[in-house]
Amino acid sequence: MSVTSPRGFAGAAPAALAILLLAALLGAAGCSSRGDARPEGSDQAEEIRADRPGAEADADGSGDEDEDVERIPVEVVALETGPIEELIRASANIEAEASVEVYAKAGGVIEELRVEEGDEVREGDLLARLEDHEQRNRLARVEAELAKARREYERQQRLHAEQLISDQAFNDATFEVRQLEIQLDDARRQFEYTRVRAPISGRVTARLINRGELVRVNQHLFDIVDFDSLVARIYVPERQLARISVGQPARVRVDALGGRSYRGRVIRVSPVVDPKTGTVKVTIGLGGQPGLRPGLFVSVELIVGTDDDALLVPKRALVYDGEQALVYRVDPDALVARRVLLEPVMENREFVKPARGLEPGDLVVVAGQAGLDDGTPVEILDPDAPAADDAESAAEPAAGGGDAS
């Protein structure tokens, strides 16, 4: 077995140390070379950037910002003047102030019917007749007895004047006549009860009996309504009370009749405010206009003010910040939207009249205002221009035709 002597290790140590030192020197030189190196073409890139237009502006953070501004597309209208009516709107059901239910005052069989539902009647007209044999016989008997008693009274009166009979005998004759007169009044009344008559003028709206039917006392027979007494009762907020007075005009629209409108006027304003609702009852008289009838649901517009030359702001332009109404007015030169707080002083179904802040010719946003704020840049759209999707759809067939050729 061979064994390495210590003298061999001692001879090899200087050579190994020299190799290690040389490797360290080469590594240091390589690091220094990489730190000073530049990528190929870097000088050319810097030269191009320096020559690009607007480079100095980019370095300063400034430039043509208008090209980069995002504008909100909107539709606008130019404000105009015109007539407006301020309205209080409410709804109600038409009622008849003069309507009656007719009841039987006597029992018996219905022998004759004189009217049908829808017939016009005058106060006192005969509606129906009950059998009257018993009442007629009683009336005839009492009339005969009274005639006899009056003849006897006249004879007793002559005898009493000649003092041929006592005062008591004469008083008895007088009492007999008076009693029979009372009975005659009752007999006539009972006979008249077999005649059912109209208590008011109007139209028969219900017939609840048939000929030959046996009716009892106090049975419901007819309904009669005076169509000249039709009204609509509405309830308006108490804050509007000072603006309502008797005689004010009103419009009533009936959707069930195709939205047909009728004229009305205020005939009564309640003198009290309902403390539970804070409203006041206002009665609108409608009269007997054709087509109106009790029970119809109607929309009422009470006219409380008019202006023939008001600035008209479309209601579709209004935006609400809480309870504050506002519109966006567009500056046609700067193309920015500005908030204008709105204080309506009159309004109808389509427009409001503002107290101040706007003028005729101002451009207000009517579509697209949901994404606006004060000072937002906008782009005014032409509402008559075709949409982009429609233009692309129209262009596709033309393009297809070109390929086919």
For the stretch 346-388, pLDDT in tens is: 888 889 999 999 999 999 999 998 889 999 999 998 766 555 4
For the chain, percent helix, then strand, then coil, each to nearest 5? 35, 35, 30
DSSP class of 175: H
Per the structure block, which two tokens stand in for 74? 């909107």
The domain locations on the chain are 72-82+308-380, 87-97+226-306, 102-225
Three-state DSSP state, 138: helix
Q: Could you tell me how far CA 393 lies from the centroid of its own chain?
A: 41
pLDDT at 17: 43
Q: Which fold has domain 87-97+226-306?
A: Elongation Factor Tu (Ef-tu); domain 3 (2.40.30)
Q: What average pLDDT does range 256-263 have in this prediction?
A: 94
Higher pLDDT, 337 or 165: 337
Confidence of residue 304 (pLDDT cuts 50, 70, 90): confident
At residue 386, the pLDDT reads 55
The two tokens of residue 128 are: 């129906």
Mean pLDDT (the chain) is: 82
Give dist(CA 372, CA 380) in Å, integer.
13
pLDDT tens-digit series, residues 126-180: 999 999 999 999 999 999 999 999 999 999 899 888 888 888 988 999 999 999 9
Q: Which of 119, 139, 132 is nearest to 198 (CA)?
A: 119
Residues contacting 356, CB < 8 A, separation 6+: 343
Return the higher-pLDDT residue of 124 and 53: 124
pLDDT the model gives residue 303: 87
DSSP β-ladder status, 319-321 and 324-331: antiparallel
* pLDDT at residue 384 in the model: 63
CATH topology of domain 102-225: OB fold (Dihydrolipoamide Acetyltransferase, E2P) (2.40.50)
The torsion angles phi and psi of 361, rounded to 5 degrees, stand at: 95, -15
CA dihedral 269→270→274→279, nearest 10 degrees, is: 0
Of the options 2.40.110.10, 2.40.420.20, 3.90.1010.10, 3.40.718.10, the CATH number for the domain spanning 72-82+308-380: 2.40.420.20
Q: How far is CA 160 from CA 73, 154, 165, 167, 173, in A?
A: 115, 10, 5, 7, 11
pLDDT tens string 219-243 = 999 999 999 999 999 999 998 888 8
- 36 DSSP 8-state letter: H
Distance CA 250, CA 264 (A): 5
397 pLDDT above the threshold of 80? no
pLDDT at 308: 92
Q: What is the percent of the chain with per-residue pLDDT over 90, rounded to a whole number? A: 61
Cα gap 259→82, rounded to integer Å = 24
pLDDT band per the 50, 70, 90 thresholds, residue 212: very high
Token digits for 134? 């018993």
The residue among 316, 256, 305, 271 whose CA lies nearest residue 76 is 316
- What is the mean predicted confidence (pLDDT) over 306-314? 93
Q: Are the C-beta atoms of 283 and 96 separated by less than 8 Å?
A: no
Task: Please say if the pLDDT value at position 203 is more than 50.
Answer: yes
Query: What does DSSP say about strands 80-96 and 220-225: parallel, antiparallel, or unpaired?
Result: unpaired
Phi/psi for 96 (5° steps) reads: -110, 125
Q: Element (H or E) spanning 72, and its range?
A: strand 72-78
Predicted pLDDT at 192 = 95
8 Å CB contact between 346 and 86: yes
| Rounded mean pLDDT, 170-198 | 94
**Mean pLDDT lowest among 57-71, 73-87, 105-119:** 57-71
Crossing angle of the two packed helices 133-161 and 167-193, in degrees rounded to 10: 160
| The predicted structure's pLDDT at residue 396 | 54
What's the pTM value of the predicted model, to 2 decimals?
0.60
pLDDT-derived band at 33, boundaries 50, 70, 90: very low
* pLDDT attached to residue 67: 56
Three-state secondary structure readout of 112-131: EECCCCCCEECCCCEEEEEC
Q: What is the pLDDT of residue 306?
A: 87
Whole-angstrom distance, CA of residue 36 vs CA of residue 224: 114
Q: What pLDDT does 48 receive? A: 35
pLDDT of residue 259: 92
Mean pLDDT confidence for 1-8: 38
Top-confidence range, 76-90, 183-197, 339-353 = 183-197
